[in-house]
Structure 1
């Protein structure tokens, strides 16, 4: 149990980095940041794939198709929605929306996977979900107040950011549930191999996206310096860092956690991503969190620790009639 929690924490710390890129590169289109990140992820996965070639050869056509679906929705579409939301609404609003994932995934998994993982009793789960929701509300109250005080706030941009962030939530509610289904259904397969397979499946999609953006920019006379933009060193460095840490290593750690923990529990541990994103945001701002923010962080951590103590109750499967 605690080994799984440690892996989920490591994944959250690395996934929090994905909130930094759009803030550091506001002049770069979200599409370019998305395909750039996952092009780096795919290229990093190539040598890993060579080292893991024997295990990868055991994957069936259906397995590769599943990896392609997970890559398209959980990687490209998710980050396209998230980075677009951050560029339109700033960091706080998307962080608020993504912060609801522990509750959304926890409830979805408890409804969907109770026969496989056992049911986490709602009576015991409710206090954890309430602590997490209250902690997120405290953190976001401070962030929303800062948004209201911004004289240059664009209502339409914030509305579009909220819609795009909701799309990111949908993508990342689907991804961990579907990813856990494959991992729990293939306990003899290495989580490392599955993370590499998703990286390899992402590579052709990201390469086509990068070429497509370049073709669009060239044909429409878009005033953007190709292929790496006006700050190539920062762009390439961030893409490689996110491809290595947030994508490959983060996925690996998440897969390790998903094989060890019930889906409803591991879903709540995505709260570590929210905490990491807030930490990095405050470091970028050079500000100390408000007291209400610190209270919210304490409630979030308390809710996670509460959930980690809950043991699932087995659910008997009905036998078919003879």
Structure 2
């Protein structure tokens, strides 16, 4: 359990980096940032795949199709929606919506995975979920209030950002549940190899997306300087860092956590990503969090620690006791 939590913490710290890209590259289209990030991830995974080629040969056609689905929805579509949301609504609102992931995933997993992981008793689970929810609300109420004071106006753009962030939540609710299904059904397979396989599956999708985006901009006579934009070194460097740490290494750590923890508990630990994203945002701003923000962070941590004390009960035993 302790090792799984540490892996989940490491994944959250690295996944928090994905909120940095749209803030550092506001003039770059979200689609370009999405395909650029996963093109870097795919190239890194291709090198790693050669080193891990023996284990990757053990994957079946169905395994590769599953990796392709996970790559398309949990990688490309998720980050496209998230980056678009941040650029349209600013960072606070998407962070607030993405911050609901621990609750959404925990509830979803507890509804669908009772036979496999056991049932986390709702009576014991709700207090931790409530703490997490209230903590996220505190943190983001401060951010949202600041955004409303500064907003000058396009309500449609703001609402479209909220909608895109909601779609991102749907993508990343589906991804960890489906990813955990594969890992739990293949306990003898290496989480590292599965992370690499997802990166390899991402590469052709990212290449196709990059080509379509470049072609579309050329046809539309866009003034944006393709292929790498007005700040090519910054763009390439940032995509490489996010591709290595947030994509491959973050996925590896999450896979390790998913094999050690019940899905409902692992889902709650995505709260570490929210905390990391907020921390990085405050570092970029050069500001210290407001008291209400600090209270929210404390509630988030308390909720996670409370959730870790809940133990799953076998479904049969629970039903008999009832």
- The match for 2:320 is none
- The match for 2:156 is 156
Superposed displacement of residue 144, structure 1: 1.0
The one-character-per-residue Cα deviations of 1:255-287 (angstroms, maximum 9, x if unpaired) are 000000000000000000000000011111111
1:56 and 2:80 are equivalent in the alignment: no
- The match for 1:246 is 246
- The match for 2:260 is 260
3-state SS, counterpart of residue 315 of structure 2:
coil
In 1, the alpha carbon distance for the partners of 2:293 and 2:256 equals: 30
In 2, the alpha carbon distance for the partners of 1:49 and 1:172 equals: 25
CA RMSD of aligned residues (A): 0.8
Superposed displacement of residue 47, structure 1: 1.3
Superposed displacement of residue 140, structure 1: 1.1
In 2, the alpha carbon distance for the partners of 1:153 and 1:189 equals: 51
Is the 8 Å Cα contact of residues 147 and 153 (structure 1) preserved in structure 2? no
The one-character-per-residue Cα deviations of 1:95-123 (angstroms, maximum 9, x if unpaired) are 00000000000000000001000111111
- The match for 1:15 is 15
In 1, the alpha carbon distance for the partners of 2:199 and 2:60 equals: 16
1:185 and 2:199 are equivalent in the alignment: no
Q: Could you tell me which runs of 5 or more consecutive residues in structure 2 were left unpaired when the two chains were aligned.
A: 318-322
- The match for 1:119 is 119
Superposed displacement of residue 156, structure 1: 1.3
In 2, the alpha carbon distance for the partners of 1:71 and 1:316 equals: 35
In 1, the alpha carbon distance for the partners of 2:151 and 2:61 equals: 54
The worse-fitting range, judged by mean Cα deviation, of 306-315 and 233-242 is: 306-315
- The match for 1:320 is none
TM normalised by structure 2 equals 0.97
In 2, the alpha carbon distance for the partners of 1:117 and 1:151 equals: 45
3-state SS, counterpart of residue 149 of structure 1:
helix
The one-character-per-residue Cα deviations of 1:59-101 (angstroms, maximum 9, x if unpaired) are 0000000000000000000000000000000100000000000
1:95 and 2:74 are equivalent in the alignment: no
Count how many residue pairs are aligned between Structure 1 and Structure 2: 317
- The match for 1:205 is 205
Superposed displacement of residue 153, structure 1: 3.4
In 2, the alpha carbon distance for the partners of 1:305 and 1:2 equals: 11
In 1, the alpha carbon distance for the partners of 2:112 and 2:241 equals: 35
Is the 8 Å Cα contact of residues 73 and 171 (structure 1) preserved in structure 2? yes
Is the 8 Å Cα contact of residues 88 and 158 (structure 1) preserved in structure 2? yes
In 2, the alpha carbon distance for the partners of 1:14 and 1:154 equals: 32
In 2, the alpha carbon distance for the partners of 1:152 and 1:282 equals: 22
1:169 and 2:169 are equivalent in the alignment: yes
Deviating above 3 A after TM superposition, structure 1's stretches of 4 or more consecutive aligned residues are none
Superposed displacement of residue 151, structure 1: 4.3
- The match for 1:315 is 315
- The match for 1:37 is 37
In 1, the alpha carbon distance for the partners of 2:265 and 2:151 equals: 41
3-state SS, counterpart of residue 152 of structure 2:
coil
3-state SS, counterpart of residue 288 of structure 1:
coil
- The match for 1:78 is 78
3-state SS, counterpart of residue 314 of structure 2:
coil
- The match for 2:304 is 304
In 2, the alpha carbon distance for the partners of 1:161 and 1:151 equals: 14
Superposed displacement of residue 217, structure 1: 1.1
TM normalised by structure 1 equals 0.97
Superposed displacement of residue 316, structure 1: 2.7
